[in-house]
Structure formats: structure tokens, C-alpha cells
Amino acid sequence: MKITVLLSPGLHPLSGKPVLPRLEAQAIALGKSLGGVLSGLAAASCPDGVADALGHGLAQLDLIATTEGEDPMPLLAAALAEDGPKLVLAGRRSQGGEESGLVPYALAKALGLGVVADAVAIEPGTEPGTLSILQALPKGARRRVVARLPMVVTVHPAAPPALPYAYGAARRGTLRARRVQAAPGAPDAAPGLFEERAYRKRPKLMRGAGTGGSAAERLRAATEAGGAGGRVLTDLSPEQAARTILDHLAGLGILR
């Protein structure tokens, strides 16, 4: 199976030095555990940080040179369309960059693939051409999803740890400069889509946090899963289910 791991130039949250985002190193480990032909793909203006992927177990890495501030999406989409990997592994969002977290989705849309988010484990499905993916949900819940290849999978921080960096392996790995022609008509992030502002620390509001009672009671009030908020419907037809969800979203004012 041909697997491509998407990599991005990250910045260390404190030092600001170029590093490989930890999630992407974990994506490499997850891809290696599946076996198959694993290669990396990145669009970056400089190999610093990205090239560390070679030390975390990746043997080969294609680097598409971009100019500072260029949208990597069309270039990545073009390269992936050219390579046609069965599985694209990615982190959840970049680190120290624009961090929209949209790249895996935008790529999947451009390539016409499905996305399974927040994988903590991947194994081949019982049926050929499928993968059985363990997905991380909030509050430690897990869900098993079986999906048909090809697809895009993003990795959750609870996935197995990355392989330790090995200098010798990084030295042996090959870093190829790759040239691709951006597909015409590919969605291009409009300049000025993102506005940059200095980070302002906000107090963390705890829903339902009480003011009275003992510390233990307040903690319980703040952390207890709200039991009254939802409904569990079973044995609905797909149409009924879709209708119920749409009604709910409309009720919340999300859909108009």
C-alpha cells in the first residue's frame, strides 16, 4: 500500500525554532505500523524542521519549495494527484503557522477523498481495500470506523508516540526537491483570509461552575458530563436520522 505522510514546517511553541510537529512524527509511526511504501510530502519554504521526519523513521521525503506566505494547498493537491497514494496521513493542524486545521479537509475535497479525523490506531480491515481505524472522541471515548481506501486520515495526539529521532537515520534518508504545477482552478486561500493579532490570554470559563459548596462539589459541577443536553435515538431510517439532525441544527440556528 502506498502511504503518504503530509508534513509541515512547525515552530517550537517556546523557542520558535523550526521543528517537526509531534503529531506528524506520530503519523509516521502510525504509517510504519501499517507497513507498505511510506513517503513524506511537504510544501515549505525551507527544509528546516521538516527534514527531521527522516530521523523519525521516514526513508524518503519530497519537498515542494514554496515562497514565504504561499498557500501550500494547490501544490500539495497537485503532487498527491500525481502520486495517487492509497492513504494520506496528516496531523490535525500546523504548528506555529496559520493553524487553520483545514488543509486535510481542503485536500480531501480537492482530491475527492473521504476524511477520517483523529485516528489513534489503524489496521487493515477484514475486507480488502478497507482500513479499520480507531478514532479518538472527547473524554477518552473511542470509536472504530471502517472506511474504504483511498482516504485522508488525521492523527490524534493520543496515537502511539513518535519513533525517537535518530541522527544516523536522518543522514541516510533522502530528501528530494519536487516541482509540481499547481492544478488550475484549485482553491486558493485568498490573501487576507486570516488576520493576525497578538495572543490575548482569556480567563477559561467553566460551564456550570458553581460558586458555592466545597471545592470537591465545584469540581464535580465543572467536570460532570451534562446529562440533560441530548437525545439518543436508535433504529431510525437514514432519512429520519438526517431530518432529525437537520432540525436540531436549524433549532440551534446553525442552519438557516
Chain positions contacting other proteins, by CB under 8 A: 12, 14-15, 17, 19, 52, 55-57, 161, 163-169
Number of helices (H), then strands (E), belonging to the chain: the values are 6, 11
Shortest spacing between CB 32 and other proteins, in angstroms: 12
Residue 36 vs 161, nearer CB to other proteins: 161
Shortest spacing between CB 42 and other proteins, in angstroms: 17
Residue 56 vs 92, nearer CB to other proteins: 56
Nearest-Å Rg of the Cα atoms of the chain is 21
What are the angstrom distances between the C-alpha of 55 and each of 28, 175, 228, 236, 242? Answer: 11, 11, 49, 50, 46
Q: CB 116: neighbour CB atoms within 10 A?
A: 19
H/E segment holding residue 100: none
Cell of 185: 482552478
Query: DSSP string of 186-255?
Result: ---PPTTSS--------PPPPTT--SSS-HHHHHHHHHSPPSSS-----S--HHHHHHHHHHHHHHHTS-
Residue 1 vs 120, nearer CB to other proteins: 120
Q: Using alpha carbons only, give the angle 172, 176, 181 rounded to the nearest 5 degrees.
A: 165
Residue 84 vs 164, nearer CB to other proteins: 164
Cis before 150 (ω within 30): yes
| Bridge partners for 10 per DSSP | 19
Shortest spacing between CB 161 and other proteins, in angstroms: 6
Residue 14 vs 232, nearer CB to other proteins: 14
Residue 12 vs 142, nearer CB to other proteins: 12
Shortest spacing between CB 121 and other proteins, in angstroms: 18
Residue 143's SS3 state is: strand
Residue 54 vs 63, nearer CB to other proteins: 54
* Residue pair 30/122 in contact by the 8 Å Cβ criterion: yes
Shortest spacing between CB 237 and other proteins, in angstroms: 48
Shortest spacing between CB 171 and other proteins, in angstroms: 8
H/E segment holding residue 158: none
Shortest spacing between CB 168 and other proteins, in angstroms: 4
